[in-house]
């Protein structure tokens, strides 16, 4: 694709380039405030068949492909096209730009999110042409554009799974808690086949069941405690100073992937 090759050619050694590939075959590359989206061809002859370049909103932070998301609104079984693709981009500060169609790239709507100065790390396209914006402090906001481009927003429902009726003290004993503002978000994952959204923080794993117009939290688990109580004990449990070793162990979660 000419636009991709040009962006790579013009990029300096110190420039930050970021790229992601969606399961639907759409890929996007971010270079400074430029977003290049293209469709990976299914044949060896047409490796890349569709390409579009978009202007991103201004930001004081370096752009990353994790804050770009696409949704294909085509009928199942039909090939996706520019007409069926909607695109949303979010700055780390919370400026949202939404393109209802890539046929007219200059036509977009824009809004701003303000959740106490939170910085955002991930934007994920989910069910029903909607998106989930995830902050660095584990706040999750679902963004749903209407046919006119107006964006409706609400926080993901929490604590509405099978344990929703129990108190916080009992929840703590069972290791099932809702995200708190001091949890650092590590990674998110969208399972399109089962309509599940996963979020992994520095201490917990959360899972939501996503419907077209609603969502339900079905899992929140204290993975830190599981690691310390089981895996670490199996490795260092026989050491005479295991108590001291355990206190000095620092666990960091880097990524979240689905095991097929």
Residue 5 is predicted with a pLDDT of 60
Could you give the 3-state DSSP secondary structure of residue 142? strand
Its pTM stands at 0.81
| The two structure tokens encoding residue 27 | 């890929």
CB atoms within 10 A of CB 100: 20
Phi, psi of 32 (to 5 degrees): 60, -120
The ranges assigned to domains in the chain are 1-162+175-248
Q: What span, in angstroms and rounded, lies between the C-alpha atoms of 117 and 179?
A: 17
Q: Which residues 6+ apart lie within 8 Å of 120 measured at CB?
A: 67, 90, 91, 92, 93, 94, 113, 133, 134, 135, 136
| The two structure tokens encoding residue 127 | 């069910």
Give the residue-averaged pLDDT of 140-144. 96
- Return the higher-pLDDT residue of 74 and 195: 195
What confidence tens digit (pLDDT) does each residue in 13-54 have? 667 788 898 888 889 999 889 999 988 865 544 444 578 889
Could you tell me the maximum CA-CA distance found in the chain, to the nearest angstrom? Answer: 68
Q: Please spell the DSSP secondary structure of 123-135, one letter per residue.
A: EEE-GGG-EEEEE
**Does 60 score more than 50 pLDDT?**
yes
The b-or-e profile of 82-99 (16+ CB within 10 A means b, else e) is eebbbbbbbbbbbbbbbb
Superfamily classification of domain 1-162+175-248: YVTN repeat-like/Quinoprotein amine dehydrogenase (2.130.10.10)
Could you give the 3-state DSSP secondary structure of residue 248? helix
Percent of the chain predicted with pLDDT > 70:
77
């Amino acid at each position: 694709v000419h636009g991709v090759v040009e962006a790579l050619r013009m990029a300096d050694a110190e420039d930050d380039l970021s790229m992601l590939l969606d399961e639907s075959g759409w890929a996007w590359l971010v270079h400074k405030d430029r977003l290049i989206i293209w469709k990976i061809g299914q044949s060896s002859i047409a490796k890349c068949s569709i390409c579009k370049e978009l202007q991103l909103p201004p930001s004081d932070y370096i752009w990353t492909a994790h804050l770009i998301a696409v949704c294909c609104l085509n009928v199942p079984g039909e090939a996706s096209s520019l007409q069926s693709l909607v695109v949303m981009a979010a700055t780390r500060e919370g400026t949202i730009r939404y393109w209802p169609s890539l046929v007219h790239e200059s036509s977009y709507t824009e809004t701003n999110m303000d959740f106490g100065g939170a910085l955002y790390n991930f934007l994920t396209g989910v069910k029903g042409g909607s998106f989930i914006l995830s902050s660095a402090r584990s706040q999750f906001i679902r963004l749903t554009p209407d046919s006119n481009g107006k964006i409706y927003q609400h926080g993901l429902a929490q604590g509405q799974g099978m344990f929703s009726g129990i108190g916080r003290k009992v929840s703590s004993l069972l290791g099932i808690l809702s995200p708190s503002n001091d949890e650092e978000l590590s990674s998110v994952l969208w399972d399109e086949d089962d309509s599940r959204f996963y979020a992994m923080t520095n201490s917990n794993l959360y899972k939501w069941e996503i419907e077209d117009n609603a969502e339900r939290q079905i899992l929140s688990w204290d993975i830190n405690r599981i690691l310390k109580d089981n895996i670490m004990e199996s490795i260092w449990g026989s050491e005479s100073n295991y108590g001291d070793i355990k206190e000095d162990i620092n666990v960091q979660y880097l990524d979240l992937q689905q095991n097929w």
